[in-house]
């Protein structure tokens, strides 16, 4: 096999973790999973805008620690398959703050959002299409995290 790392990425509820769990045994690969025990998610899903940045930072730091451990592993290690993509970004703090404000304004003030399409031609993606209704249905039926999920349309 020519590559050592495969990332499965997509929105919540489309089956990233399930796909990783199915692929790993087939390729005798090590699994790296997103840590879903984020202490800031409850506040985030209860419509507390300040928690959005904290929740994202928690995920970022967890991913960083996982990737650091992977970097220290043997060069001849087996394939690793992850249920997230960890990309390096060189972004200024001011820009991150502006993006965070814009994200919070948009996400917390609109009931329906359009799909944001970004040019990803230089990245190899495995894509699984799922429409918005299917995603919401999956999120609402998930065992973990569902206690925090509040549909945008029902928010005051």
Within 13 Å and on the Cβ side, how many CA atoms surround 105?
6
Q: Is the pLDDT of residue 102 over 50?
A: yes
Q: In angstroms, what CA-CA distances link 101 with 45, 49, 97, 120, 150?
A: 17, 9, 6, 24, 21
Tell me which of 24-38, 54-68, 133-147 is least confident. 133-147
Q: Is the pLDDT of residue 38 over 80?
A: yes
Q: Is the pLDDT of residue 21 over 80?
A: yes
The span from the CA of 82 to the CA of 100, in Å, is: 26
pLDDT single digits (tens) 39-52: 988 888 887 777 88
Q: Is the pLDDT of residue 12 over 70?
A: yes
> Is the model's pTM score more than 0.85?
no
Average pLDDT over all residues of the chain? 72
Instruction: Provide DSSP, 71-137.
Output: HTS-TTPPPEEESS--------HHHHHHHHHHHHHHHHH-SS-PPP----TTS--------HHHHHH
pLDDT, position 111: 47
Query: Would you kindly state where each structural domain of the chain is located, as residue ranges?
Result: 5-148
């Amino acid at each position: 096999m020519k590559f050592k790392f495969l990332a499965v990425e997509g929105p919540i509820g489309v089956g990233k973790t399930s796909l990783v769990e199915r692929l790993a045994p087939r390729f005798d690969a090590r699994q790296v999973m997103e840590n879903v025990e984020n202490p800031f998610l409850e506040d985030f899903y209860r419509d507390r805008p300040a928690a959005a940045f904290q929740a994202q930072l928690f995920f970022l730091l967890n991913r960083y620690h996982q990737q650091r451990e992977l970097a220290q592993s043997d060069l001849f290690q087996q394939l690793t398959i992850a249920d997230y993509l960890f990309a390096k970004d060189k972004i200024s703090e001011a820009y991150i703050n502006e993006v965070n404000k814009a994200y919070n304004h948009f996400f917390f003030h609109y009931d329906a959002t359009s799909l944001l399409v970004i040019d990803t031609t230089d990245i190899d993606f495995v894509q699984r299409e799922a429409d918005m209704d299917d995603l919401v249905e999956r999120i609402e039926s998930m065992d973990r995290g569902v206690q925090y999920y509040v549909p945008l349309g029902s928010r005051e």
